[in-house]
Amino acid sequence: MRQALGVAAPGPGILNQQVGIYFEAPLGHLVVDRPAVLYFIENAAISGLFAAVDNADRWVFYTGRPPDWDPAAGGLAAERCVELVRLAAGLPDLAVRVRSVLPWAMAAQTAQRFRAGRVFLAGDAAHLIPPVGGYGMNTGIQDAHNLAWKLAGVLAGWAGSSVLDTYEAERQPVAQFVTEQALLNMRQPGRPEQYASLGLALGVSYDSAAVVADGSTVPEIANPVTDYVPAARPGSRAPHAWLRRGGERVSAIDLFDTAFTLLAGTSGQPWRDAAVTASRDLGMPLAACTVGRGGELGDEDGTWAQLYGIGPDGAVLVRPDGHVAWRSAGSGAEPRAELIRVLRAVLGQARTRAAGDV
* Eight-class DSSP state of 219: P
Per-residue pLDDT of the chain (358 residues; tens, 9 = 90+): 999 999 999 999 999 999 999 999 999 999 999 999 999 999 999 999 999 999 999 999 999 999 999 998 889 999 999 999 999 999 999 999 999 999 999 999 999 999 999 999 999 999 999 999 999 999 999 999 999 999 999 999 999 999 999 999 999 999 999 999 999 999 998 899 999 999 999 999 999 999 999 999 988 999 999 999 999 999 999 999 999 998 899 999 999 988 999 999 999 999 999 999 999 999 999 999 999 988 999 999 889 999 999 999 999 999 999 999 999 998 877 999 999 999 999 999 964 443 333 3
3-state percent breakdown (helix, strand, coil) of the chain, nearest 5: 30, 25, 45
Give the SS3 label for residue 16. Answer: strand
Q: In sequence order, what are the residues at sequence separation of 6 or more whose Cβ sits closer than 8 angstroms to the Cβ of residue 325?
A: 210, 211, 212, 234, 260, 317, 318, 319, 342, 346
Contact of 120 with 137, CB cutoff 8 Å: no
The H-assigned helical ranges of 107-254 are: 136-156, 165-187, 198-202
Give the SS3 label for residue 174. Answer: helix
Give the SS3 label for residue 293. Answer: coil
Q: Which of 208, 320, 341 is nearest to 328 (CA)?
A: 341
How far apart are the C-alpha atoms of 212 and 250, rounded to whole Å?
27
C-alpha to C-alpha distances, 273 to 224, 269, 294, nearest whole angstrom: 38, 6, 16
Predicted pLDDT of residue 80: 96
- Could you confirm whether domain 14-107 is CATH 3.30.50.10? no
> Hey, what amino acid is at 339?
L
Predicted pLDDT of residue 353: 41
> Hey, what amino acid is at 17?
Q
Query: What predicted TM-score, i.e. pTM, was given to this entire model?
Result: 0.91
Residue 9 sits at the vertex; the CA angle it makes with 5 and 10, to the nearest 5 degrees, is: 150
Predicted pLDDT of residue 350: 60
Give kind and range of the element (H or E) at residue 310: none
How far apart are the C-alpha atoms of 319 and 104, rounded to whole Å?
36
Contact of 196 with 206, CB cutoff 8 Å: no
Q: What are the residue ranges spanned by the domains of the chain?
A: 14-107, 109-202
> Hey, what amino acid is at 146?
N
CATH of domain 109-202: 3.50.50.60
